[in-house]
Chains A and B, each alone.
Chain A
């Protein structure tokens, strides 16, 4: 009896937010309604296929090629976004120039623009007669209807995440420790590699994970620039839509489940890495 009372008291004392019960209830409800139920339906639909049928639908050579294009282009785009995002964030935080605030608000535009518009604009720019394509195509750089085109639009849609995650960390960086490194004889490269980068690396990895997640799920812009050639520039979401157009719902679901499993594993690996690095940086 008394033990029970003291546990309840201890629990009460531990919770900081008022209404602990109700906030947990709302969290569970939201996560269930928005994430868990839709994903379960997806899994159930796919489970209506037997194992051999599932493999036959989701592991065809064409589907395998689509997974490779999706994952490969997304990883490359997320990596490019992380590097460019770090540079943009650095400039926005460290350098005061006229138009800085304008540039800062431009960063979010890719989030607001319908991505199909981005895909259309990119493909008109990079086709042979386009403003950029007329210079690049003679050099052998095919920006439209190619794997490179997919990467380009994926960088466009994922860059804001990479920038916005690193920016506040750069802002809160302790400037004294950079000066300390200088006083101890470190040159700029040494100061960046040994003092600044270890402090911001966890944020860079978080930005990479978000950019990757965004790129894996992208459909609207890719469909307009990739040309959707099976085995070459067809991404998994496009393959899903073409299966749906053939009314092959179970096959579409099977492909979706495989894509989802791959995406989740990739994100879990990146997050685990991020946590390890963050713990080291403490």
Chain B
């Protein structure tokens, strides 16, 4: 089932949570709403679910206006960040809840719940109470519970936010496979760009109650539409430079910039992602200074290292180019991290 959001606005007091937002989610898409906290992504999700009412605008499912339809009539599955399991019920009863309130016959409930327990790989744990499960297991119960009512749309609010890093990555890959099997239209909210890019078919970046950009992960990542998206997606380096004849100049080093072919030079702000920079390989001399003091020859800048932070396979080198006040961040594979206090970053 496709979802169409048409000109939705929503204010909480004086805070404008959503400002005339429109969005189409085609049937079968797995879409990520990505943005910082307060960007309106969760409010948008809750309005689609029917848990909040918009001040203006409409929500349509397959062309039918469902704006005034109550949450329990929308056939939408919702997964909460903190699971929201019924603590006094067993895992089995949690999953069965939606079927029981629909007065489904007992044998049908049993079959369906056992099927779902198998789907979320929790066979044999139906008798446990939620408190006896790990965080990852609880979130799978919450997912099974949401799927039990055969929803046409699945909405997930920061579904992996409360889990530790390893479980998060596993559950993410599992959810992607599950989505491909079931093929249900799904929307999830996240502030974690890695999560959005790994999981989603399409990413919608939100800020201040508006959609900044929408596209496939590659489109959004490779061609950020606004400075906000650029800044949000990577801890970017910003410099004042100039553009002319399809090139941007960064500390005198040319970088290809085909979007500005004009001959007339113009001052510009240059955004450079940490992973777009490299450290010039100038052999053993790299750490010794004098050999790299030749920007024109190598296309690199001499700089002093301030910090090196390693995070998994990536090391982020913070350095200060000679004669500059600003810091420069460079992301490199951890095994190629340079030694010493002097480096030569280059685009």
A residues contacting B by CB (< 8 A) are 174, 176-177, 179-187, 190, 194-195, 198-199, 280-282
Q: Which residue, B82, B88, B102, has most C-beta atoms of chain A within 10 A?
A: B88
Per the bound structure, the CA–CA distance linking A199 and B85 in Å amounts to 12
CB–CB A185/B88 < 8 A: no
Query: Is B178 engaged at the interface, CB distance under 8 Å to the other chain?
Result: no
Q: Tell me whether A176 and B84 are in contact (CB under 8 A).
A: yes
Interface residue count on the B side (C-beta < 8 Å): 26
Alpha-carbon separation in the docked complex, A179 to B49 (Å): 10
- Least distance between B12 CB and chain A CB atoms (Å): 15
Q: Are B80 and A179 in contact (CB under 8 A)?
A: yes
Task: With A177-B84, A194-B97, A195-B86 given, name 13 new contacts (CB 8 A).
Answer: A176-B80, A179-B51, A180-B78, A180-B80, A180-B85, A180-B142, A180-B145, A181-B97, A184-B97, A185-B98, A186-B72, A198-B89, A282-B88
A194-B97, A198-B88, A281-B87 given as contacts; is B72 within 8 A of A183 (CB)? yes
CB–CB B129/A282 < 8 A: yes
B1 at the interface (CB under 8 A from A): no
Q: How far is the CA of A185 from the CA of B89 in the complex (A)?
A: 17
What separation, in Å, do the CA atoms of A90 and B86 have in the docked complex? 20
Residue of A nearest to B101 (CB): A186
Cα-based distance from A194 to B97 in the complex (angstroms): 9
Residues of chain B lying within 8 A (CB to CB) of residue A177: 84-87
Q: Which of B77, B85, B87, B131 contacts A183 (CB 8 A)?
A: B77
Are the CB atoms of A176 and B82 closer together than 8 Å?
Answer: yes
Residues of B bordering A, CB below 8 Å: 49, 51, 71-72, 76-78, 80, 82, 84-89, 97-98, 101-102, 129, 131, 142, 145-146, 148-149
A-side contacts of B80, CB under 8 Å: 176, 179-180
**Could you say which residues of chain A place their CB within 8 Å of the CB of B71?**
179, 182-183
Residues of A within 8 A of B149 (CB): 184-185
A180 touches B84 (CB 8 A): yes
B101:A184 contact, CB within 8 angstroms: yes
Instruction: Across the interface, name the chain B residue whose C-beta is closest to A178.
Output: B84
Q: Which of B72, B77, B148 has the most CB of A within 10 A?
A: B72
How near does chain B come to A21, taking the closest CB pair, in angstroms? Answer: 34
- Cα–Cα distance between A87 and B80 once the two chains are bound (Å): 28
Cβ-neighbour of B49 out of A183, A190, A198, A282 (below 8 A):
A183
Bound Cα distance A182, B49 (Å): 10
Instruction: Select A185's contact among B51, B72, B87, beta carbons within 8 Å.
Output: B72
User: Given known contacts A179-B84, A282-B87, is B102 in contact with A185 (CB within 8 Å)?
Assistant: yes
Q: Give Cα distance in the complex from A199 to B148, angstroms.
A: 23
- Separation of A190 and B99 alpha carbons in the complex (Å): 13
**A187 and B72 contact, CB distance less than 8 A:** yes
A42 CA to B222 CA, complexed, in Å:
86
Q: Contact: B72 with A199, CB < 8 Å?
A: no
